[in-house]
Amino acid sequence: MKKKNKNQKRIAIFHNYMDNIGGAEIVGLTLAKELKADFYSTNIDREKIKKMGFSNINLISIGKIPINAPLRQQLALLRFRMFDLKKKYDFYIIDGDWAMSGAVNNRPNLWFVHSPIREIWDAYDYVRNKVVPWFARWPFDIWVYFNRYLNKKYIKSVEKIACNSINTQNRIRKFLNREAVVINPPIETSNFDYKKNGDFWLSVNRLFAAKRIDIQMKAFEKLPNEKLVIVGSYERSKHFRQYLRYLKRIKPKNVKILSWVDSKKLRELYSNCRGFIATSMDEDFGMAPVEAMASGKPVIAPNEGGYKETIIAGKTGILIDNINEDKLAEAIKILGKNPEKYKNACLKQAKNFDTKVFIKKIRKLIDK
């Protein structure tokens, strides 16, 4: 870990849990790396973090919590609510939804919001009707009511708010009645490069229902001459395992699932794929499509959520209204004819989301 100079603010970063590394976790780790901050979390998988290219960060565990919802989320919220470091640091950054309770005892602070807790706010109906078993819906409703109350209570202790997209900014305004500054997440564009438009398509997601991976599989079932590689980590809780079993059951022969890869292998896949596919429902922002563009690859995605803020339709890819497997299959046919023509526009667009831009804006907000 690099030494801090005497004039540099001592900063601590809070994140819910670190046993599954996705976009939100990468943002937190990038903040820690660039700001030379200490990183506090539960369930820290140090080996996985190291393989993702973050080896010089001071990771501090505040314990282990269960892997299954809802106890997992509730204990994370409780751990950070009781956490008190206010005399040790000059500033606190909360990078995570359930860790937001850490604002109560730790100030001055900034909450970087990837989204307000989706299962209790904008995705409540979807989770209740599509994920939660019918016999568990009434306890789920009680749990949601309780956590909405806590969410509104704890946000009163949050002093500054930044978020990853206009989409998330609108959710914060709607559900939590607060304003936020939009600072798009960081992509270390210099780490990515273009090698060729190969013979396979790439998709990078957490494997859970809201990512709608099943649409991708059904589309490729209609395209037996195309190949899809899905890089998808999943949390070990019951609901995630159920969806993974479903995906494996419907997976056609031309689709390959890689449960997790390190940063070197992931960059290799980006640089050699034909194009990138995303299907997430109302995505908060979506870092993976920007990483694909940083590799010169066009993106196919739904015309909704954060995708509308990063993908330029017709220039860096295709945005699909009311996406389904038929529309996705047709877009793959169109984009697959000449994916090379999107290369320069993709590389240019990705530069707008570079880490340097992100850190400059974060520093300015901290010092404001």
Contacts 24+ apart (CB under 8 A), 72-78: 72/17, 72/237, 73/16, 73/98, 73/117, 73/147, 75/42, 76/16, 76/17, 76/42, 77/101, 77/147, 77/150
- Does the structure show a pLDDT above 70 at 6? no
Q: Which pLDDT value is given to residue 131?
A: 86
In the chain, what percentage of residues exceed pLDDT 70?
Answer: 97
- Both 145 and 232 in one domain: the answer is no
Instruction: Return the higher-pLDDT residue of 240 and 337.
Output: 337
Where residue 228 sits, what CATH number does that domain have?
A: 3.40.50.2000
Instruction: Return the higher-pLDDT residue of 310 and 233.
Output: 310
**In the block, residue with structure tokens 């601590």:** 12
- Both 39 and 177 in one domain: the answer is yes
Q: Which pLDDT value is given to residue 2?
A: 47
Among 233, 298, 241, 294, residue whose Cα is nearest residue 259: 233
| Under 8 Å between Cβ of 18 and 61 | no
Q: Which pLDDT value is given to residue 233?
A: 73
User: Which ranges of the chain would DSSP assign to H, the alpha helix?
Assistant: 23-35, 46-51, 71-82, 124-126, 137-154, 166-171, 213-221, 238-250, 263-272, 287-294, 307-310, 325-336, 343-350, 355-367
What does the DSSP assignment read for 133-198?
A: -GGGHHHHHHHHHHHHHHHHHHGGG--EEEES-HHHHHHIIIII----EE-PPPB-GGG-------
Q: Which pLDDT value is given to residue 232?
A: 85
- Both 176 and 207 in one domain: the answer is no
What average pLDDT score do residues 227-254 get?
Answer: 84
Least confident of 6-10, 248-252, 273-277: 6-10
What average pLDDT score do residues 8-24 get?
Answer: 93
What average pLDDT score do residues 136-159 get?
Answer: 97
- Both 202 and 326 in one domain: the answer is yes
> Which two tokens mark 190?
């210099």
Residue at which a domain ends, from 182, 209, 225 = 182
Cα dihedral 269, 255, 129, 308 sign:
positive
Q: Could you report the per-residue pLDDT of 258-312, keeping only the tens digit for each?
A: 988 899 999 999 999 999 999 999 999 999 999 999 999 999 999 999 999 999 9
* Residue 294 lies inside a defined structural domain of this protein: yes
* Residue 359 lies inside a defined structural domain of this protein: no
- Does the structure show a pLDDT above 70 at 235? no
What average pLDDT score do residues 329-353 get?
Answer: 97
Distance, in Å, from the CA atom of 253 to the CA atom of 255, rounded to the nearest integer, reads: 6
* Residue 360 lies inside a defined structural domain of this protein: no
- Does the structure show a pLDDT above 70 at 239? no
- Both 169 and 204 in one domain: the answer is no
Instruction: State the total domains in the chain.
Output: 2
- Both 49 and 148 in one domain: the answer is yes
Where residue 20 sits, what CATH number does that domain have?
A: 3.40.50
Full-model pTM: 0.92
| Under 8 Å between Cβ of 214 and 282 | no
- Both 54 and 145 in one domain: the answer is yes
Among 183, 184, 163, 187, residue whose Cα is nearest residue 175: 163
* Residue 4 lies inside a defined structural domain of this protein: no
* Residue 311 lies inside a defined structural domain of this protein: yes
Q: How many other β-carbons are positioned within 10 Å of the β-carbon of residue 174? A: 11
* Residue 327 lies inside a defined structural domain of this protein: yes
Measured in residues, the chain has a length of 368
* Residue 137 lies inside a defined structural domain of this protein: yes
Residue at which a domain ends, from 126, 147, 182 = 182
- Both 281 and 168 in one domain: the answer is no
> Hey, is 292 helix, strand or coil?
helix
Among 147, 114, 159, 162, residue whose Cα is nearest residue 305: 114
- Both 164 and 237 in one domain: the answer is no
- Does the structure show a pLDDT above 80 at 236? no
> Hey, is 272 helix, strand or coil?
helix
What average pLDDT score do residues 161-177 get?
Answer: 98
Q: Which pLDDT value is given to residue 220?
A: 98
> Given 3-state DSSP classes, what are the helix, strand and coil percentages for the chain, each rounded to the nearest 5?
45, 15, 40
Q: What is the mean pLDDT of the chain?
A: 94
Q: Could you report the per-residue pLDDT of 39-75, keeping only the tens digit for each?
A: 999 999 999 999 889 999 999 999 999 988 899 999 9
- Does the structure show a pLDDT above 60 at 3? no
> Which two tokens mark 301?
């995605």
What average pLDDT score do residues 304-324 get?
Answer: 98
Q: At what angle do helices 355-367 and 23-35 cross, to 10 degrees?
A: 70
Among 246, 258, 236, 241, residue whose Cα is nearest residue 214: 246
- Both 108 and 127 in one domain: the answer is yes
Phi first, then psi, for residue 225 (nearest 5°) are: -90, -5
- Domain of 250 in residue numbering reads as 191-352
What average pLDDT score do residues 127-141 get?
Answer: 93
- Both 198 and 345 in one domain: the answer is yes
Q: Could you report the per-residue pLDDT of 198-221, keeping only the tens digit for each?
A: 999 999 998 888 899 999 999 999
* Residue 323 lies inside a defined structural domain of this protein: yes
In the chain, what percentage of residues exceed pLDDT 90?
Answer: 86
- Does the structure show a pLDDT above 60 at 77? yes
Q: Count the alpha carbons within 13 Å of 162 in the hemisphere toward its beta carbon.
A: 21
> Which two tokens mark 172?
């914060």
pLDDT confidence band for 87 (50 / 70 / 90): confident
- Both 287 and 198 in one domain: the answer is yes
Among 236, 222, 316, residue whose Cα is nearest residue 278: 316
Distance, in Å, from the CA atom of 349 to the CA atom of 343, rounded to the nearest integer, reads: 10
Q: Which pLDDT value is given to residue 237?
A: 62
